[in-house]
Amino acid sequence: LGQQQQLDEAFATYDRVRRPRVDEIAKKAASNADVRKKTGPVGLRIKEWVIWAFLWVAWATGRQSVGVEQRHLVYDIDAAKL
């Protein structure tokens, strides 16, 4: 294979493996933005404080993954099927 064809195949494989994760993160970000748009400044402050408190308590008790959707943050490229 030529060098350009090898690069094209490598990038196609990379995109096929990474695209679902990127799409999931983009969808979650859009959902979070919608929540922010629908919440007033006081409600937003309260939500941010509650989230901060929840994450701090989870950290302090060693339960960082309890109730928190972190699957896309703990991604292991070595486990991905190419």
Output the DSSP codes for 52-79.
HHHHHHHHHTT-TTTT---TTTS--GGG
Q: Which amino acid is at 46?
A: I
Task: Say yes or no to pLDDT of 67 above 60.
Answer: no
φ and ψ of 60, to 5 deg? -65, -30
**pLDDT band, residue 34 (cuts 50/70/90):** confident
Q: Which amino acid is at 35?
A: V
- Supply the mean pLDDT for the chain: 82
Task: Say yes or no to pLDDT of 52 above 60.
Answer: yes
Three-state SS at 32: helix
